[in-house]
A and B are shown apart, each in its own frame.
Chain A
Amino acid sequence: MLKEETVLEINRIKSKYHNGQSSLLPALYVVQREHGWLSQDSMSAVGDLLNVPIATVKGVSTFYSMFRHKPMGRNLIQLCTNVACMIMGAERLADILKEKYGLEPNGTTPDGRFSLVIMECIGACGTAPAMLVNTDFYENLTEENIFSVLEKYK
């Protein structure tokens, strides 16, 4: 289920902690990076690797909103619409993503290029509105510059 290097990385992570379960979140991140999301099979593989019951793995992973439990597009747009971003026009950005790409919150474009997740605060309130594309921050977004940003992601 997991690639050999993924298993090695998870084992390396395990050594940073005093107990197996502490490495659960980091291990899920590693697997999510590899597969884009967490399937039943991959959660089960992580559980077996860390000796954590698989139901616990699922309970934990679904608690955190940054773990995905369905397949995602190639690029993940995480757009903040919390208060500071909202008053600076973030909702309009969500609307135009729909207009331009047909992208709904929690949805994926038919070509699998983008998925959109609406975020609670991402700590860029002073430069609102803001979003993360994969792990890159984009701030001071406008209706105009958001497309030039997204065009970089294929």
Chain B
Amino acid sequence: MITVTINGKKIELEKPVTILEAAGMAGINIPTLCHHEMLEPYGGCRLCVVEVEKMPRLQTACTQYVIDGMVVWTETERVIEARKAVLEFLLINHPLDCPYCDKAGECDLQDLVVKYGPATGRFAEGKRTHPESYDDPIIVRNMERCILCARCVRMCDNMQSASAISITNRSSKSFVEPFSGGRYDCEYCGNCLTVCPVGAIMSRMHKHAYRPWLIDKEIDTVCSFCGVGCSMVLQVRANSIVRAVPKTDKGVNKGLLCNRGRFGYDYVRSKKRLDSPLIKKNGNLEKATWSEALAYIANGLKRIKEMHGGDSIAGVISGRCTNEDGYVFQKFMRIVLGTNNIDSAAGFAYAPAQKFFEGIFGQGVTANSMHGISNSDGIIAVGGDPASINPVLGLQIRSAYQKGIPVVTIGYMPGLKRFSANRLITQPFTETTLLAAMVSELKAKRELSLEKSSFEGIIRTIPEVSINDAKDICGISADDMRGALDSMSKMNNPSIIIGMDILQRSEGHANLLLLAALIHLLNGRIYLLSELPNEQGLIDMGCLPDMLPGGRHLTVESFRRRYEEFLGVEVSPRQGLSLMEMIDGANSNTIRAMYILGENIVSSIPNSTYVKGALANLELLVVQDIFMTETAQLADVVLPSLSWSEKEGSYTNLERRMQRLERAVEGNGMEDWQAISEISKMLGFDMNYRSSRDVMAEIAKVSPLHKDIIYEDMAEGRCMWPYKGEPLRHGVSIEGIEVPDVQSLMMRPDKNRIYVGIDNPLFHADTLSSNSAALHSISPEPYVKISSALAEKLSIASGDYVSISTDAGSVELSIRIDSDLPENIVLIPNYFDDKGIFKIMKWKMHPVTKSPVMDFTEAAIKKIKSAAKEVSAWISLRR
């Protein structure tokens, strides 16, 4: 026990902490500037000096640890003089432009000068000048206001690990800047904005738009962009979001956000938002009233159900919809329309993967806390760059690596380039071979059960692949492979982080089995990357053709009976169609009507032309969305939806944590579940919900998994799997696992050909990002990434334009060069209208997972024109 006395107050401590922390515990406030709770102590500003008895010099409270018997005084005359001196020093070069500085009112420096002075300055010389930088579309840099506390740089180096800004020069000539000196070449997480104590680094999005004290309200909610589910506070003024900020003590993100979360909110105010229901008349979508539109839909669905049966209708829901939307939607499809034809893009790979792993390892096996990643003893990332797909989860990996935890990455992961000692970038189609070689090596190191019915029995049947055989096929050196295996074999409980790319291949089902084998052999914890905020929630709500709410299989009669009893209606036992099958069905007239909730399936599935054709074939297409997407353009009726900040409800993130969305602004539209229940009523089934809370109350009764959950349980991120409910506690069984013939799936690429695959961009996420002016300004142009070797071969330089053609089509794009890519691979993201990779990919449904196959595709590439001006290599890749 350590006893310290601060300002005469005795404080007992279990372990040594800094004087600052000890004082904080005793409710004594010591002023700071360079200190920030998310960052390591720095000791630079010298404001937190205190007097410590028996120490002649003043000590900085942020760096000095307490020892037993220490006596500290925090507000003596000497201390106050020293603080005043520090503030005077800080002000000599400060522009004192508070009247038009956006920070005024929430500026630490301003507040401290008010408290300690000095009221007048004695500095008679000219101040340092440094013009404010507007080179960046998002971030304004004012280095005259900077006090060089380095909080931004430390945040960027140590928390975001992007190291995109640094202090340039030294002494009083120092200032903070990105490498270019102007525009940022960074990840635009904006976490530097969070920690800047003065008005030196600020967002342009609200420049001179308001004062902090003019904010009407602050709403705690979660982010709408990806499956991490970061907590954030929306600051609202005049029914408009002026800023999205994290809170350091809250949520899975603990004060961090990514570019999408922090800056992407502006799509809410986009002028392109749908503001009225539309009905197609004479080939044109024309404005209609809600009553007209809802009646149109009800009549249409009724007619088609009567003529062709409920199974001729299909529903698709987006992973951006809430649990409440999902629950009501599946109930509508199942009970009112009488079909299990419900699916979402979550069903493409996320749901099959989860189902597969749960089949082997038990329900809830993917429900692992994100913070466990940085505390595991090893990390294996495979199938897509976590730092792009789920950026804040990616930070956990970076932080783990910086702590010395071994990280193995399989596949192209630019966001983890500096954070992995073992980087294996495979040739197209060869992940299966690599994984099989890994399983072969690792299983040789241990005794496997001979029991045929156990999973180990299945692992035994996986064919042996030697490193020697694998190295040439995969295009990875034997040394690199051995290095990775060496790291892996030392892991006792690694985090295995799986992106969906590896599963959305022709050999995806084999990859899934091999990953399960790896997980078993290494005793791994599974994390499934999730692109959308509520993919997990849709699965839990039964928005799948074969699952009921609460993760119960439709085909198990006892489960189904329970729902029927509760709802008082029969549920069809026939498994519904997957999204891919629905589109095939639309194409072949077995599906007559589709109800699409928030999903832009024209651009989210290859091949866009085929999908468009199929949708055009429908008798009735209903689309509910916030934008006039390519899919909405084909609709017979369009209903305007509410954006995430305009609705209430809950999301379930990739850890299976349930979190609440709060309404921050009033939108012009109807909640998705509300519109559906109106239609339901017109069709004779009154769902009778007054609010999303009513929906959750029903979920809590119907779904055994969500038993007794109320919104209050979701506060502070506490609502973690398995909630208060009843997960399926069945014994692990391998019955029903199809063991693919791995050997036959070990493909080889033709090394003389070029293959095009999917890039996972950091700055984009479907229609939301393309309607966010902020995100668009960061990354305004579609691109193709190619290797430096290929660029040299084709004599093309950064910024030049090329055309990429496949059997399915061709796109023209500017190039970005990345020396990390193998020579024969080019990558295109899928997020720019008419320029995405799905324009040139074939339609192919996987026979086992029923998901779209997104294999590497043979392509031809040729230069079409040079860049308008020469682009330095360092600019090209990072933007």
Contact = CB atoms under 8 A, between A and B. Distances in A.
Check if A and B associate: yes
Interface of A: 1, 40-41, 43-44, 48, 51, 53-60, 62-63
A148 B647 CA distance: 82
A1 B157 CA distance: 27
A62 B163 contact: no
B166 A56 contact: yes
Contact of A53 (B162, B168, B170, B872): B162
A41 B873 contact: yes
B168 A59 contact: yes
Nearest to B180: A40
Given A48-B819, A51-B418, A63-B170, A40 B874 contact: yes
B194 to A, nearest CB: 19
A111 B180 CA distance: 30
B610 interface: no
Given A56-B166, A58-B179, 11 more contacts: A43-B179, A44-B179, A44-B873, A54-B185, A54-B874, A55-B164, A55-B165, A55-B185, A56-B157, A58-B166, A59-B167
Contacts of B178: 55
A59 B185 CA distance: 15
Contacts of A62: 168-170
Contacts of B170: 62-63
A56 B873 contact: no
State the main secondary structure of chain A at its contact with B.
helix
Nearest to B418: A51
B872 A40 contact: yes
Contacts of B163: 53, 55-56
Contacts of A63: 167, 169-170
Nearest to A1: B873
B873 A54 contact: no
A51 B418 CA distance: 7
Nearest to A48: B819
25 contacts: A40-B180, A40-B872, A41-B874, A48-B819, A48-B874, A51-B417, A53-B163, A54-B185, A54-B874, A55-B163, A55-B164, A55-B165, A55-B178, A55-B185, A56-B163, A56-B166, A57-B179, A58-B166, A58-B168, A59-B153, A59-B166, A59-B167, A62-B168, A63-B169, A63-B170
A51 B162 CA distance: 12
Contact of A40 (B179, B418, B819): B179
Interface in B396-432: 417-418
Nearest to B819: A48
A56 B168 CA distance: 9
A54 B873 CA distance: 12
**Shortest 3 CB-CB contacts between residues of A and residues of B:** A59-B166, A53-B163, A44-B874
A1 B797 CA distance: 13
A67 to B, nearest CB: 11
Interface of B: 153, 157, 162-170, 178-180, 185, 417-418, 819, 872-874
Contacts, number: 49
Contacts of B179: 40, 43-44, 54-55, 57-58
A60 B874 CA distance: 18
Contacts of A48: 819, 874
Nearest to A44: B874
Given A58-B179, A62-B170, A53 B164 contact: yes
Contacts of A58: 166, 168, 179
A40 to B, nearest CB: 7
B183 to A, nearest CB: 12
A53 B180 CA distance: 13
Contact of A55 (B166, B417, B418): B166
Contacts of B180: 40
Nearest to A56: B163
B872 A44 contact: yes
Contacts of B418: 51, 53
B186 to A, nearest CB: 8
A41 B168 CA distance: 17
Nearest to B153: A59
Nearest to B165: A55
A62 B167 CA distance: 9
Nearest to B872: A41
Contacts of A51: 417-418
B419 to A, nearest CB: 10
Contacts of A1: 873
Nearest to B168: A62
Contacts of B157: 56
Contacts of A41: 872-874
Contacts of A54: 179, 185, 874
Nearest to A60: B166
A80 B48 CA distance: 39
B448 to A, nearest CB: 39
A110 B833 CA distance: 53
Contacts of B153: 59
B207 to A, nearest CB: 24
Nearest to A64: B170
A137 to B, nearest CB: 25
Nearest to B156: A55
A136 B710 CA distance: 79
Nearest to B178: A55
Contacts of B162: 53
B30 to A, nearest CB: 30
B797 to A, nearest CB: 12
A60 B166 CA distance: 8
Contacts of A55: 163-166, 178-179, 185
Contacts of A56: 157, 163, 166
Contacts of A44: 179, 872-874
A9 to B, nearest CB: 20
Contacts of B168: 58-59, 62
A58 B165 CA distance: 9
Contacts of B417: 51
A60 B178 CA distance: 13
B483 to A, nearest CB: 16
A76 to B, nearest CB: 20
A86 B266 CA distance: 61
A75 to B, nearest CB: 25
Contacts of A40: 179-180, 872, 874
Nearest to B176: A59
A55 to B, nearest CB: 4
Nearest to B873: A44
Contacts of B167: 59, 63
Nearest to A43: B179
B840 to A, nearest CB: 30
A58 B819 CA distance: 21
A57 to B, nearest CB: 8
Q: With a 10 A CB-CB cut-off, give which of A1, A40, A57 has the most chain B CB atoms.
A: A40
Nearest to A59: B166
A40 B170 CA distance: 18
